[in-house]
Amino acid sequence: MINSGHQFVEFVSKLGTSALSDLTKSIYNQKVNRESSFARGLTGNGVLSDETLDRFRKEANRESLSALKTAWAKELSGTDPASINYMINPFARANFLSARALAATSNEEALGLISATAVDVATQWLFGLEGVRPRNFKAGLSFSTAEIPKVNNSIIVGDGGNYVTRMKYVRDIYEHETLSDIIQSGVDRTNSTGLEHAVVRLGPNSPYPGLKVMVSGGTHGINFAPGEITTLFGHTHPAVTGASTADFTALQQLNQSKQYIFEGLTGQKLLIRKP
């Protein structure tokens, strides 16, 4: 049984188990076909291991529910999270995220969505659409605003769009977490908020040097100040756009050989290497 708001539960009930099952199968087949093609290109053999197939089944189960939540929130709010209006209008985002919070299936998910809604609307209302964003590093640190740094050696990752904002702390990355769980967490947060997320190691010009954390940015990218991070493990794109010039430049600035990008609702994986 889904532990969520009654409206979303009724929505899923009306769809029936077959609709959710069909969506899960579709996502699973997309993953298998993509990975099989990738493996065939590397080794000439597209056969996947039972372990990989089992992982894809578990991922598809999680992602199908997330996709249903997004579709329901879109219908309820009348706001498309892929639209230009969503990207530039804080109240459109608040409308969608408020609806999306009603479909949350955990306290952490709901609180994260409500917090993102409140912070985004308050900041945009007080300071306008561009130039100022909140910084909130870990509980106990002061909440303040800061201008997006206009320096040549800042690091930016994103899909090539204009709505890029300063990085904001989301959560720590823990030793016991599996790579697939970390990736899914970032993809889920991106799907529910419309914001890019990244996993990074903080640098000397940050509150907690050496700490591995997940951060978020804007709908088109994340801006890191010089020395704020030392490693960029990977980041998400809300839509499937491919790597941007900034994504490659970031690898050069960090003297890093590669990073992963996860795009769209299903977290389509893309590996890019330093030019």
DSSP three-state, residue 146: strand
111 and 142 in a single domain? The answer is: no
Q: What is the mean pLDDT of the chain?
A: 75
What does each C-alpha distance from 240 to 44, 233, 261, 263 come to in angstroms? 26, 19, 10, 5
Domain assignment of residue 222, given as a range: 130-275
1 and 105 in a single domain? The answer is: yes
140 and 261 in a single domain? The answer is: yes
119 and 134 in a single domain? The answer is: no
What pLDDT, on a 0 to 100 scale, did the predictor assign at position 211? 87
Half-sphere exposure in the Cβ direction for 88 (13 Å, CA): 5
Number of domains in the chain: 2
The pLDDT tens digits for 251-270 are 999 999 999 999 888 888 99
Question: Would you say the pTM of this structure is higher than 0.85?
Answer: no
- Checking 170-178 for CB contacts under 8 A at 24+ apart, the result is 170/197, 170/213, 170/214, 170/215, 170/216, 171/213, 171/214, 172/211, 172/212, 172/213, 172/214, 173/199, 173/212, 173/213, 173/214
Question: Which residues lie closer than 8 Å to 52 by C-beta, 6 or more apart?
Answer: 35
107 and 18 in a single domain? The answer is: yes
The pLDDT tens digits for 223-234 are 988 888 999 999
**Nearest-CA neighbor of 117 among 78, 86, 83, 159?**
86
**Phi and psi, residue 268, nearest 5°:** -55, 125
154 and 93 in a single domain? The answer is: no
The pLDDT tens digits for 209-220 are 888 889 998 888
Q: What is the identity of the amino acid at 89?
A: N
